[in-house]
Amino acid sequence: MSGSNDHIGGEARRYGNATIGEAVARLRAGGLVAVPTETVYGLAADSTNAAAVAEIYRTKGRPDFNPLIVHVPDRESAGKLGKFDDLASLFADALWPGPLTIVVPKRDNCPVAAAVTAGLETIALRCPAHPVMRELLEQSGLYLAAPSANRSGGISPTTAEHVTRSLGAKVPLILDGGPCERGIESTIIAVAGGEYRILRPGPVTEAQLEAVAGKAPILADTNLIEAPGQMLSHYAPSKPLRLNAETAADDEYHIGFGNLPGDRNLSPDADLAEAASLLFAALHDADASGKPRIAVAPIPNAGIGNALNDRLRRAASPR
């Protein structure tokens, strides 16, 4: 293990063999561990242990109707939990490991605790690419439920420090793998009847999905909150947030993009992937700044820009 990096409250330690071993032991004993993924930091627990799953909900203050994503090491494990038709298999084979969550019908003998799926007949599955999360999955042999490691409704964490700021001592061990590369939560699709719907835009773009499926998604029914991450107010900073702000008032912390410099710029080169990786860190900084309000420059609605604007709209919605 390279030197420790302790914070107040939860202990963030750099990822190393000793720490992975400890994390595995904690998970096997029904404990929680915060772990980096390529999207955001997750709060992981054994998805087959009902008490451990209850602890995730309690720690996050997450409403019990909001189901959890189960992380698996590979496609084969996913097939033991959910039923993959041809289209779901196509997505998994083409885009896993990666930042894509696939919602499929749950198997009758699926061993995950009932609370994970919040009473639904479906299960959300993801095979992540991050080496630390992969090692944890492989060494533990567990299927890990892992929502973002923050208080429910707050800004997702993209560094170990963000986890500590949001959850503090409630999380005894944070594996610190540095900043998350993608920085925005996984794309969620639901696959059924040979069709697919996008439940949450994310790093895997609609164009990528279309290229794999050979067809466009069908529209998700917006009147039906199928993925509670679709709730309007979510990912929210504690301050009012204004969108499409070309300029900012004196009392606004301005998050810039491209040629609008702002107090900090998500990507001076107007690179949307770079902007996505820095969005939540910028919102955390804006929240911690002395300014009472936040303004965000316009972000183009193309590719991963869809996911950025989705999160920003929710961040701007009153609770």
* For Mg ion, the closer CB: 52 or 245: 52
- Does position 69 interact with ligand AMP (CB under 6 A)? The reply is yes
**CA nearest 1: which of 11, 15, 10?**
15
Stretch that binds Mg ion, among 1-9, 66-74, 147-155, 251-259 (CB under 5 A): 147-155
The entry of ligand AMP, Mg ion, none near residue 117 (CB within 5 to 8 angstroms by kind) is ligand AMP
Handedness of CA 291, 292, 298, 304 (dihedral sign): positive
Q: Footprint of ligand AMP on residues 36-65 (CB under 6 A)?
A: none
Is 92 one of the binding residues for ligand AMP (CB under 6 A)? no
Provide, rounded to whole angstroms, the least separation between the CB of residue 14 and ligand AMP.
24
Q: Where are the beta strands (DSSP E) in 170-312?
A: 173-176, 187-192, 195-200, 241-242, 252-256, 264-265, 293-296
Q: How far is the C-alpha of 58 from the C-alpha of 56, rounded, in Å?
A: 5
User: Does residue 286 contact residue 242 with C-beta atoms inside 8 Å?
Assistant: no
**By CB under 5 A, residue 39 contacts Mg ion:** no
Which stretch in 29-37, 143-151, 283-291, 310-318 sits in contact with Mg ion by CB under 5 A? Answer: 143-151
> Whose Cβ is closer to ligand AMP: residue 46's or residue 185's?
185
DSSP H/E element including 100: strand 100-105
Q: Is 310 in the site for ligand AMP (CB under 6 A)?
A: no
Helices (H), 61-159: 75-81, 86-95, 131-140
- Of the candidate residues 16, 228, 300, 303, the single one contacting ligand AMP (CB under 6 A): 228
Tell the smallest beta-carbon distance from residue 312 to Mg ion (Å). 15
Applying CB under 6 A, does 148 fall inside the site for ligand AMP?
A: yes
Closest CB 228 distance from ligand AMP, rounded Å:
4
Q: Residue 151: what are its φ and ψ, rounded to 5°?
A: -60, 140
Number of chain positions touching Mg ion (CB under 5 A): 1
With CB under 6 A as the contact rule, the residue among 37, 48, 49, 122 that binds ligand AMP is 122
Integer Cα distance of 297 and 316 in angstroms = 13
Q: Is the CB of 117 or the CB of 148 nearer to Mg ion?
A: 148
Our CB check for Mg ion shows the closer of 148 and 309 to be 148
Residue window 99-138: x/- pattern of binding to Mg ion, with contact defined by CB under 5 A: ----------------------------------------
Instruction: Write down the least CB distance from residue 319 to ligand AMP, Å.
Output: 16
Cis peptide before 292 (omega within 30 of 0): no
Strands lying side by side in the sheet with 187-192:
11-14, 173-176, 33-35, 42-46, 144-145, 69-71, 122-126, 100-105, 187-192, 195-200
Helix (H) or strand (E) holding 103: strand 100-105
Q: Is 148 a residue that touches Mg ion (CB under 5 A)?
A: yes
Three-class secondary structure of residue 193 per DSSP: coil
* Ramachandran category for residue 148: left, alpha or beta (phi over 0 → left; psi -120 to 50 → alpha): beta
User: Of these partners, Mg ion, ligand AMP, none, which one is at the site of residue 256 (CB under 5 to 8 Å by kind)?
Assistant: none
Q: Which is nearer to ligand AMP, 124 or 144 (CB)?
A: 124
Nearer to ligand AMP, 181 or 226 (CB): 226
Task: Report the amino acid identity of residue 275.
Answer: A
- Residues in the site for ligand AMP, rule: CB under 6 A? 66-69, 103, 117, 120, 122-124, 147-148, 185, 188, 199, 226-229
